[in-house]
Amino acid sequence: MAAQALSGILVVALEQAVAAPLASRILADAGARVIKLERAEGDFARGYDDTVYGQSSYFVWLNGGKESIAVDIKSDGDLRLVRAMIAKADVFLQNLAPGAAARAGLGASDLRKAHPRLIVCDISGYGEDGPFRDKKAYDFLVQGEIGLASVTGYPGRPARVGISIGDIACGTQAAQAITLALFARERNGDGAALKVSLFHALADWMNVPYLQHRYGRRDVRSAGLSHPSIAPYGAFACQDGPPLVISIQSDREWRAFAQHVLGDTALGTDERFATNVARVRNRLACDGMIAARFMALPRGGVIVALDAAGTAYGDLNGLAELAAHPQARFVRQGTSEGPVDLLDRGARLEGAGPVTFGRVPGLNEHGASLRREFTVQ
């Protein structure tokens, strides 16, 4: 990320769980000052687990670089304090239960009237209109509603994606929308009211199976480690050692694979396999040939052949292998209970120097100083 690109930007985040904290953490990573408003018992994600020195892994991942203050927005005094913060803020972000912010007088329309340059971002489960508008939503529920579980797992066995993918989609979309709104404000001087939802953020990611279903009249279902639209694609056992996963993305790659791995150049132009559409149609036969060839060779021999063909391949790793992966990058982050090592976020600015993440705050760690700073005299 561009270090300190958002320096000078104040974000007030009335947030909990995953989606909104991810959005505000992305902004904090870019240099924004983020004040995290928590209820007296804290963001409930603090209690998801206790695996990181007694702290929640979710909370540690999502809340670096923020200041924490415990507030009760049903209290007149705390509500005045929050309003004083918002009056000086560039961004107000919230993901309370549907309607809760508006009932407290912190709805987007009221705030934007009082502060025209303010960018307000409301995160919800299902969006601001429609029959599900007021329904509570969590990541797993949205994965079910959106049809994602039906295309995940194995045939006849729908599965949840193993991470909170709906929250992640929503949080990254919210951070992107806020950043774009800040950029637009530099040009026109106006703030914005942004509406982001788990359902609609993840719906965008479902467009390929949706299009295949609507226009191809295909009932797209879960395919395990294979791919509903690409072949060959999957995990194959070798004569020894763990399986290898391969992915062939073009017909040219297939011809090279046929020559160097399968040892039969004619298969490259065989009408059953020459195109991806044909290979998908004849997936069982295609996969059967590959499985037999891999089992006939030691794993090292398969890798030599795959390298010669220029075929993309990899290992089917677990978390222990991820932790020891030669490509993994780690950064140290402070927490209220001691430093932890996290996987690097990914994007880097060339020449920016070492990447550092802000410290994860304890509950209400900055409460006293923030109350002094924003108390209305």
Residues taking part in catalysis = 227
Q: Which of 170, 193, 186 is nearest to 5 (CA)?
A: 186
Residues paired with 10 in a beta bridge: 33
Q: Distance (Å, rounded) from C-alpha 246 to C-alpha 204?
A: 27
DSSP string, 161-204: -SS-HHHHHHHHHHHHHHHHHHHHHHHH---EEEEEEHHHHHHH
**Exposure of 44 in the CB half-sphere (CA atoms within 13 A):** 4
Please state, in angstroms and as integers, the Cα–Cα distance from residue 234 to each residue in 231, 246, 271, 288, following that order: 8, 6, 22, 12
Beta carbons within 8 Å of 142's beta carbon, 6+ residues apart: 125, 148, 166, 198, 199, 202
Nearest to 181 by CA among 201, 166, 162, 196: 196
Amino acid symbol at 364: N
Whether the ω angle into residue 232 lies within 30 degrees of 0, i.e. cis, is: yes
Q: Which two tokens stand for residue 176?
A: 């992107």
The answer to whether the beta carbons of residues 116 and 190 sit under 8 Å apart is yes
Question: From CA 191, how far away is CA 120, in angstroms rounded?
Answer: 8
Please state, as a whole number, how many other Cβ atoms lie within 10 Å of the Cβ of residue 226: 18
Q: How far apart are CA 102 and CA 19, in angstroms?
A: 19
Please state, in angstroms and as integers, the Cα–Cα distance from residue 64 to each residue in 43, 152, 257, 334, 346, following that order: 14, 31, 46, 8, 16
Q: Tell the residue number behind the tokens 């909990």, with chain if given.
A: 16
